[in-house]
Amino acid sequence: MTRVVITGASGLLGRALVKDFKENGFTVFGLAKSRVSPGLLALDLLDSDALRSKVRELRPDVIIHSAAYRQPDQVEGDAEGARRMNVHVPQVLAELAAELKAQLLYISTDYVFDGVSPPHMADDQPNPLNLYGQTKYEGEQATLKHCPGSLVLRVPILYGPVEYLAESAVTVLFGALLNPPAGGYTVSDLEVRYPAHVRDVAAMCRQLIEKQRQDRDGVFGIFQWSGQEPVTKYTLVQQMAALFGLPLDHVSACRTPPTSGTRRPMDSRLDTSGLRRLGIGQHVPLAQGLHESLLPWAEQQAGDASAGSC
Ligand SMILES: NC(=O)c1ccc[n+]([C@@H]2O[C@H](COP(=O)([O-])OP(=O)(O)OC[C@H]3O[C@@H](n4cnc5c(N)ncnc54)[C@H](OP(=O)(O)O)[C@@H]3O)[C@@H](O)[C@H]2O)c1
């Protein structure tokens, strides 16, 4: 059976990757740092010696590198740590993949682009606006340089089943809708995003690996995926309110560009033609994906409310 090492296996995308690869007959070794649930292996990727020795011991045919420091605001506050995690770790994994002749897929982001002229093609010159995007771009370059023939998949904002609502930049909006602060609040109606469900992304990662196994010389380099529905934070909140019959009158839309804080692309739409040419493309409709992902939280809130009533 094909042996696959998945980094970031405890994360939002990593959990979906582990599930999909297992369900499709791969032998999966999921690596995690702090959330080491049963079946995962504990490893701090920043310990390069331990990483090298663990990966050599596991002898993977495939490495999926999903782990990253991925919150732009946190990255700005820890530039050195972010470079180690988002640039140095991909380099070590790429060297290992080359040594072991393993297939390597590095997960990257739409934030490598500035969002000025969407859709962004896979071969457009990246121009990241923040350090997160910059380090992920440098991680791409390290991957492609140290493991020629490897794969990069750029993905947009992700959502899916979350362990806590703030785990995804999509689902976090539902928390404020369920428990609105007194006096209401404002959300941006400016930056356009194309959310993708982690189940779809995980399935496409596996399909890309399978395509490459059939044609190692023909399938390599940078691919991109995007959700189909353009949203802003405000239209997402509108959609969530409509799906669960929640009031929206305390939420206001903000259309003023931010003048401070971490810069983000305005419209980071990714062109997906590379994957589609390979016959790869999977998309759960956003309304359905949101309903599935948020329902447990809506039910929990309803349960808490009824437990509190007399
Ligand atoms: N989430 C998004 O909206 C989004 C959008 C575009 C691209 N991406 C990219 O997609 C990939 C997956 O993102 P995600 O949202 O699934 O991330 P996530 O939920 O934040 O998970 C991060 C993962 O990295 C692991 N990790 C962090 N530091 C580590 C270390 N020193 N050693 C070992 N493991 C470490 C974490 O392990 P523990 O939790 O066990 O500590 C966790 O499994 C990333 O490459 C990200 O850049 C994400």
Q: Which residue has the CA at smallest separation from atom 21 of ligand 1?
A: 11
Residue 188 maps to a domain: no
What are 193-242's pLDDT values in tens digits? 999 999 999 999 999 999 999 999 999 999 999 999 999 999 999 999 99
Query: Confidence band (pLDDT; 50, 70, 90) for 73?
Result: confident
Q: What is the pLDDT of residue 101?
A: 98
Query: Confidence band (pLDDT; 50, 70, 90) for 262?
Result: confident
Tell me if 46 CB under 6 Å of ligand 1.
yes
Of the CA atoms within 13 Å of residue 279, those in its CB half-sphere come to 5
Tell me if 160 CB under 6 Å of ligand 1.
no
* pLDDT over 70 (residue 310): no
What is the C-alpha separation between 73 and 91, in angstroms, rounded?
Answer: 24
Residue 47 maps to a domain: yes
Phi, psi of 39 (to 5 degrees): 95, -15
Tell me if 233 CB under 6 Å of ligand 1.
no
Ligand 1 pocket test target in 6, 7, 10 with most atoms within 8 Å of CB: 10
SS3 content of the chain, % helix, strand, coil (to 5): 45, 15, 40
Alpha helix (H) residue ranges in the chain: 12-23, 48-58, 72-77, 79-83, 89-100, 131-146, 172-178, 198-214, 233-244, 273-277, 286-308
Residue 254 maps to a domain: no
Residue 108 maps to a domain: yes
Residue 177 maps to a domain: no
Q: Is 185 a catalytic residue?
A: no
What is the C-alpha separation between 19 and 30, in angstroms, rounded?
Answer: 10
Residue 262 maps to a domain: no
- Our count of domains for the chain comes to 1
pLDDT mean over 258-270: 90
* pLDDT over 80 (residue 31): yes
Contact between residue 178 and residue 300 where contact means Cβ atoms under 8 Å apart = no
* pLDDT over 90 (residue 261): no
Average pLDDT, the chain: 95
Residue 192 DSSP label = B
What are 99-147's pLDDT values in tens digits? 999 999 999 999 999 999 999 999 999 999 999 999 999 999 999 999 9
Instruction: At 113, list the tokens.
Output: 């682009």
Place of tokens 């305390």: 250
Q: Which atom of ligand 1 is nearest to the CA of 167?
A: 19
Residue 193 DSSP label = B
Residue 249 maps to a domain: no
Q: Which atom of ligand 1 is nearest to the CA of 132?
A: 47
Q: What is the pLDDT of residue 124?
A: 98
Contact between residue 60 and residue 5 where contact means Cβ atoms under 8 Å apart = yes
Q: What is the pLDDT of residue 84?
A: 97
Tell me if 89 CB under 6 Å of ligand 1.
no
Ligand 1 pocket test target in 5, 7, 12 with most atoms within 8 Å of CB: 12
Q: What is the pLDDT of residue 308?
A: 59
Percent of the chain with pLDDT over 70: 98
- Domain hosting residue 21, numbered range: 3-160+195-227+269-285
Coil, strand or helix at 102:
coil
Q: Which residue has the CA at smallest separation from atom 11 of ligand 1?
A: 66
CATH code of the domain in which 217 resides: 3.40.50.720
Residue 173 maps to a domain: no
What is the C-alpha separation between 99 and 106, in angstroms, rounded?
Answer: 16
What are 74-91's pLDDT values in tens digits? 888 899 999 999 999 999
Q: Which residue has the CA at smallest separation from atom 8 of ligand 1?
A: 109
